[in-house]
Amino acid sequence: MISGKAKLAGVIGHPIGHSKSPLLHGYWLREHGIDGAYVPMNVAPEALSVAIAGLRALGFRGCNVTVPHKEAVIALCDTVDDGARAIGAVNTLVFDEAGHLHGSNTDGTGFMQNLREGAPGWRVEAGPALVLGAGGAARAIVHGLLAAGAPEVVIANRTLAKAEGLARDVAGAGNGSAIAFTLDAVPDVLPRTSLLVNTTVLGMSGQAPLTIDLDGLPGTALVTDIVYSPLETDLLKAASRRGNPTVDGLGMLLHQAVPGFEAWFGVRPSVSAGLRDHVLQIPPRG
Ligand code: ATR
């Protein structure tokens, strides 16, 4: 289906076989009838700079970057946007016509867009966000929340030093503040929480469960999880049972992909129910 003029992009990671990005970009390429391809590329850490030079030489428009390259690739970019610099990780690379490489991070904006579409009544300005975890995903999410206008982000993590480092790195992303605690602080913070986010791996299939008592969380607080396997985590189930609005984690994965697709292929794609089903490998309805 592709011609000699096809636009090329893809995703680099190590390993890469689990990535859902080829499925979702492939869906959009077909949906829009674009002459282009998006391919998975398994790049070992020691081959990263050769791989980036190769993509430039091959005329790729750019690529997504996943584990373990998101931090290391910063040194290979000609320009990096402020958000990606503060987060310390790049997930989207775009070559311009002169071959200059621009790095950005769309995880935080994808997270926010997922909340806007999944919970249109909820407002980021409404009150503090409580973020569980301080790993790579949390870095992008805390930055995204502050940049979008959150008045306060409370980071609760098993390892306090990581939460403190994150709070320092994102200071200045907005007018709000970021403060760091261990997980022991969660019961005290819950009563003033307007958004609860799990960014830890707890609750993911094959991982330990997330044990958190939601008592004290206001009924209006939005609850979201970046874990999307299972799609409805125990955290989301417990939140729904007590009447809290919830947003699942798949949407963040889909929304973070939008800016890259637009930059490489020239069309701004939408995140539809059809795309969700395709990525979950649910057969088309009707
Ligand atoms: P990601 O890039 O997906 O965020 P990560 O950087 O490995 O993954 O971060 C994993 C997060 O889950 C961290 O916040 C980690 O806590 P530590 O910083 O203390 O390691 C958290 N996490 C993992 N296993 C955990 C556990 N058993 N209990 C509590 N937190 C855990």
Q: Ligand 1 centroid vs 163 CA: distance in angstroms?
A: 11
Q: Ligand 1 centroid vs 269 CA: distance in angstroms?
A: 32
Ligand 1 atom 9, closest CA: 135
Question: Is there an atom of ligand 1 within 6 Å of 165 CB?
Answer: no
Burial group, residue 185, by CB count within 10 angstroms (0-12, 13-18, 19+): middle
| Segment 72-81, tens digit of pLDDT | 999 999 999 9
Burial group, residue 284, by CB count within 10 angstroms (0-12, 13-18, 19+): exposed
Longest dimension (CA), the chain: 60
Q: What local confidence, expressed as pLDDT, does residue 282 receive?
A: 83
Ligand 1 atom 7, closest CA: 135
Place of tokens 């249109």: 120
Can you give the pTM of this predicted structure?
0.95
CB 142 within 8 A of CB 155: yes
List, by residue number, the catalytic residues: 70
Residue 83, CA distances (Å) to 1, 124, 137, 172, 207 in order: 37, 18, 14, 10, 30
| Segment 95-135, tens digit of pLDDT | 999 999 999 999 999 999 999 999 999 999 999 999 999 99
- Integer Cα distance of 168 and 99 in angstroms: 34
Question: Is there an atom of ligand 1 within 6 Å of 180 CB?
Answer: no
From 65, 197, 200, the mutation candidate for ligand 1 (largest count of ligand atoms within 8 A of CB) is 200
Question: Is there an atom of ligand 1 within 6 Å of 67 CB?
Answer: no
Q: What local confidence, expressed as pLDDT, does residue 286 receive?
A: 61
Q: Within the chain, which residues score under 70 in pLDDT? A: 285-286
Question: Is there an atom of ligand 1 within 6 Å of 210 CB?
Answer: no
- Integer Cα distance of 213 and 175 in angstroms: 30
Q: Ligand 1 centroid vs 251 CA: distance in angstroms?
A: 21
